[in-house]
A and B are shown apart, each in its own frame.
Chain A
Amino acid sequence: EIVMTQSPATLSVSPGERATLSCRASQSVSSNLAWYQQKPGQAPRLLIYGASTRATGIPARFSGSGSGTEFTLTISSLQSEDFAVYYCQQYNNWPPENTFGGGTKVEIK
């Protein structure tokens, strides 16, 4: 099973600043990587798939990059509504193989 490791576990950022979240795969997943945002009490929301393709309706301040084993989600200028938990997910041998990372909590500094 491919293990997804996210870092840091918690990221403290001030509104308006840039946030950079990392996700590492234990083996190559090519570009088969998605990012989700989850706020308390809500379902996850797809932000990015294919490592860099924004999902429908996702603001341009969210961008994804990387391939192979190293991936990054960048939020260019944090808005108040962006404070949440972010998960990465690999789906390199889908279906059905897929695994989620443990999440990064982005909190207000």
Chain B
Amino acid sequence: EVQLVESGGGLVQPGGSLRLSCAASGFTFSSYEMNWVRQAPGKGLEWVSYISSSGSTIYYADSVKGRFTISRDNAKNSLYLQMNSLRAEDTAVYYCARTVAAAVGAFDYWGQGTLVTVSS
């Protein structure tokens, strides 16, 4: 069974940092592209970042470029999101999500999400 389990969310002050983790199991993690997608309270979905299966290719949404860093450790079946210079508008539930297949940018498995609250 495919499982994605996020952790690391919490309350942080504006300008602060947080590192999210996503533990994957039930599939060959190193073969899949991975993503972070977020959802602000009561709002819709926003893609945040992408990393290729090897980690060699990375993309970010303009809203987080220069502040967030995605990474992965295929030996540990884990995905990460380092979030710096956090703003109130970064408050959201953050999901890790697996891409269906290369060149198919739909997300077939999602974690349960971890809430990040940026507030003083």
Q: Which residue of the partner chain, among A44, A50, A56, A97, contacts B45 with CB atoms under 8 Å?
A: A44
Cα A99 to Cα B106 with chains together (Å): 11
Q: Is B110 in the interface zone, CB < 8 Å from A? A: yes
- Tell me the dominant secondary structure on chain A's binding face: loop
- A37: shortest Cβ distance to chain B, in Å? 11
B104 contacts A49, C-beta separation under 8 Å:
yes
Task: Tell me how many residues of A have a C-beta within 8 Å of chain B.
Answer: 25
Task: Tell me how many residues of B have a C-beta within 8 Å of chain A.
Answer: 23
B105 contacts A43, C-beta separation under 8 Å:
no
Q: Is A95 in the interface zone, CB < 8 Å from B? A: yes
Q: Which residue of the partner chain, among A45, A91, A103, contacts B104 with CB atoms under 8 Å?
A: A91
Query: B residues within 8 A CB of A36?
Result: 45, 107
Interfacial residues, chain B to chain A (CB-CB below 8 A): 33, 44-47, 50, 52, 57, 59-60, 95, 100, 103-113
Interfacial residues, chain A to chain B (CB-CB below 8 A): 32, 34, 36, 42-46, 49-50, 55-56, 87, 89, 91, 94-103
